[in-house]
Amino acid sequence: MKIAIAGSGAMGSRFGLMLQKSGEDVLLIDGWQAHIEAILSNGLKANFNGEEVSVNIPIVHQEEVHLDKKYDLIILFTKAMQLDKMMTDIKGIIDENTQVLCLLNGIGHEDTIEKYVPLENIYLGNTMWTAGLEGPGVAKLFGNGSIELQNLGVGQEENAKKIAEVLSNAGLNASFSENIRLSIYNKACVNGTMNGLCTLLDVNMATLGNTRTALYMCRSIVNEFAAVAKFEGVALDIPAIMEKIKSCFDPLTIGLHFPSMHQDLMRNNRLTEIDFINGAISRKGRKYGIVTPYCDFLTELVHAKEDILKAE
Ligand code: NAD
């Protein structure tokens, strides 16, 4: 299968590497020049579950994609705020047979993708894989994960299952979901509590969990997600989500980790995906006439922190 990965940072590198290894014809597309040059010069280097690997994998700048080549599948892995520009840059390689799978974190990306791709070719997914970048062209790929995905278009279930099969053949452990929006909302609730709060307070999840107000703040945020989700036909199980959130506080499992937003902003001085997590709930809340004061304020505070730190 001809597969393009649009957004080839940490996660795109993982997927590109694993899919190419399984025999797929993979192209990485990215916008970070230093990363592209490193991969063109030295291949993609990765510590892959403890083994140092270096693979030759084609990569092209998103503004220089060859418009005459079409792809069977495009996997979107930009950061959320980079998605619209990526879609504009690559729209020429998308034709009526190109299926587009979105695996970004956050809510509502289909609104952006639908501007460029017919609904019947769009697939939404949610992944539990993780990945990191040590620098341009160098990835750190540890652990296991999974993917759930579903078609947005009516009658495209078989195609969704075929995409899951291709991903699973590469060891990516993908399955068809009957309700991908529920999975996306469930994950967004964890990100929508841990990411913003740990970033603003500059603490790991265990330290957040030890504060007097953590549970109340998390519950208030999750209530807003649930109120908005209900308007979208998604019924969130609030007690189950709160249990999941509490499990993140455990220092014996993942509590000592800093969420990705903390790493992006506090360590790497990069802009965050807050507009597509809590900010998406604020926008949808306004649309449905629901007040979302916790998500509004959290989004504003994170943007203020981005400004103070001059994040890019
Ligand atoms: P990433 O930041 O590694 O890459 C995204 C884009 O940013 C790429 O185009 C990359 O080249 C560019 N980039 C990365 N570092 C840069 C730098 N220092 N300067 C300039 N450009 C830079 O993002 P990711 O972690 O691959 O995440 C992609 C999507 O997947 C996001 O929506 C994220 O929330 C989601 N996600 C990530 C993980 C994870 O473990 N990393 C897990 C699940 C979902």
Whether 155 and 163 have beta carbons less than 8 Å apart is answered as no
Nearest ligand 1 atom to the CA of 133 is 3
Reply yes or no on whether the pLDDT at 151 is more than 90: yes
Contacts of 125 (CB under 8 A, 6+ apart): 101, 102, 103, 147, 148, 149, 150, 174, 180
Q: Is 187 a catalytic residue?
A: yes
Q: What is the largest CA-CA distance in the chain?
A: 58
Domain boundaries 2-178, corresponding CATH code: 3.40.50.720
pLDDT one-digit tens code per residue, 230-245: 999 999 999 999 999 9
Residue 86: CA atoms inside 13 Å, Cβ hemisphere, count? 27
pLDDT at 308 (0 to 100): 98
* Predicted local distance difference test score (pLDDT) of residue 86: 98
Averaged pLDDT for residues 141-149? 97
Q: What is the 3-state secondary structure (H, E, C) of 13-56?
A: HHHHHHHHHCCCEEEEEECCHHHHHHHHHHCEEEEECCEEEEEC
Catalytic site residue from 79, 187, 284, 305: 187
At residue 297, the pLDDT reads 98
CATH code reported for the domain at 181-309: 1.10.1040.10
Average pLDDT over residues 117-141: 97
Q: Whose CA is nearest to atom 12 of ligand 1?
A: 9
Domain boundaries, the chain: 2-178, 181-309
pLDDT value for 67: 80
Q: Is 100 helix (H, G, I), strand (E, B) or coil?
A: strand
Average pLDDT on 44-72 reads 94
pLDDT digits (tens, 9 = 90+) for 272-286: 999 999 999 999 999
Instruction: Please choose from 36, 77, 85, 268 the residue to mutate so as to test ligand 1's pocket, defined by most ligand atoms within 8 A of CB.
Output: 77
User: Residue 69's pLDDT is what?
Assistant: 85
Q: What is the mean pLDDT of the chain?
A: 97
CA distance 66 to 280: 33
Provide the percentage of residues in the chain whose pLDDT is more than 70.
100
pLDDT in tens, 156-166: 999 999 999 99
For residue 68, the model assigns a pLDDT of 79
Q: What is the pLDDT of residue 217?
A: 98
**Backbone φ and ψ of 192, nearest 5°:** -70, -15
**Could you read off the pLDDT of 72-104 as tens digits, one per residue?**
999 999 999 999 999 999 999 999 999 999 999
pLDDT of 251: 97
Q: Where are the beta strands (DSSP E) in 128-201?
A: 132-135, 138-141, 147-151, 174-176
Whose Cα sits closest to atom 40 in ligand 1? 130
- 66 has a pLDDT exceeding 90: no
Residues 9-44 have pLDDT tens digits of 999 999 999 999 999 999 999 999 999 999 999 999
Nearest in space to 139 (alpha carbons), one of 5, 273, 2, 252? 5
Which pLDDT score is estimated for 115? 97
* Residue nearest to ligand 1 atom 8, measured at CA: 9
Q: Which residue has the tokens 């998406």?
A: 280
Cβ of 126 below 6 Å from ligand 1:
no
What is the distance in A from the centroid of ligand 1 to the CA of 131? 9
| Distance separating alpha carbons of residues 264 and 105, to the nearest angstrom | 14
Q: Which amino acid appears at position 271 of this protein?
A: L
